[in-house]
Amino acid sequence: MADYKPHVVLFPFLAQGHINVFLYLATLLHNHNPSLTITLRSSLPPTFSLRLHSLPFSPADFGLPAYAESVADLPFHQFLTFFNASNSLLPAFEDFVADIAGKDIAPICIITDIFFAWTVDVARKHKVYHSTFNTCSAYGSAIFCSLWTHLPYKNTTSNEFPLPDHPEVVIHRSQLPDHLLDADGNDGCLATL
């Protein structure tokens, strides 16, 4: 029974604001239960006994620079391309989960970034626990989801507009990033919301 150590797999989106929060989550989990096995998808050095697991990713296959392993390596206008390219991680992620699910007798929990909705299907297939971790505040998430879901700025010529889900919130067009302004409703990000 000495090998019975629960295993937590952390799977952040490769953007600084996401990786840092997942590292903090790993620290909290470790401090709460030092006997946990924690695996993080990252190339960052661990601050405690943390397993790192890399997945093959070829950004050049998607028209991105070959060195682009996170959104920090890209100009802002390529964010959506990187986001969609990250879906190519699914086969390697599934192989990794299948491998640990086949070896571990202890419970496994996958905690993934909100941008990796497809991981829930992997967890169900291998009968492991799954949770989605949102690295943004509740307010920011609500605003972002409303903007992506409704694209309210597409229905007005005004520079200011209310959000359909939150009419008390008025947004100015200048507050929107370019990838939101360029969205047309057929963007891959909408599938994750």
- State the pLDDT at residue 107: 84
Q: Quick one: tokens of 129? A: 């626990």
User: What pLDDT does residue 109 have?
Assistant: 94
Annotated active-site residue in 7, 30, 113, 130: 113
In the sheet where 51-52 sits, what is the strand order?
Answer: 51-52, 37-40, 7-11, 108-113, 129-133
113 carries an active-site annotation: yes
Q: Which residues lie across from 86 on neighbouring strands?
A: none
pLDDT in tens, 41-89: 865 555 556 788 888 999 999 999 999 888 888 887 788 889 889 999 9
How many whole angstroms separate alpha carbon 47 and alpha carbon 116?
A: 25
Predicted local distance difference test score (pLDDT) of residue 192: 46
DSSP states of 83-108: HHHGGGGHHHHHHHHHHHHHH--S-E
pLDDT value at position 191?
43
Q: Is the pLDDT of residue 141 over 60?
A: yes
Q: For the chain, what are the domain ranges?
A: 7-133, 138-192
| Cα(145)–Cα(114) distance, integer angstroms | 12
Domain 7-133: give its CATH superfamily.
Answer: Glycogen Phosphorylase B; (3.40.50.2000)
- Per-residue HEC secondary structure of 48-88 comes to CCCEECCCCCCHHHHCCCCCCCCHHHCCHHHHHHHHHHHHH
Query: Does pTM top 0.95 for this prediction?
Result: no
Which of 7, 18, 30, 130 is labelled catalytic? 18
Confirm whether 53 is a catalytic residue.
no
The residue to which tokens 């640990």 are assigned: 100
User: From CA 87, how far away is CA 77, in angstroms rounded?
Assistant: 18
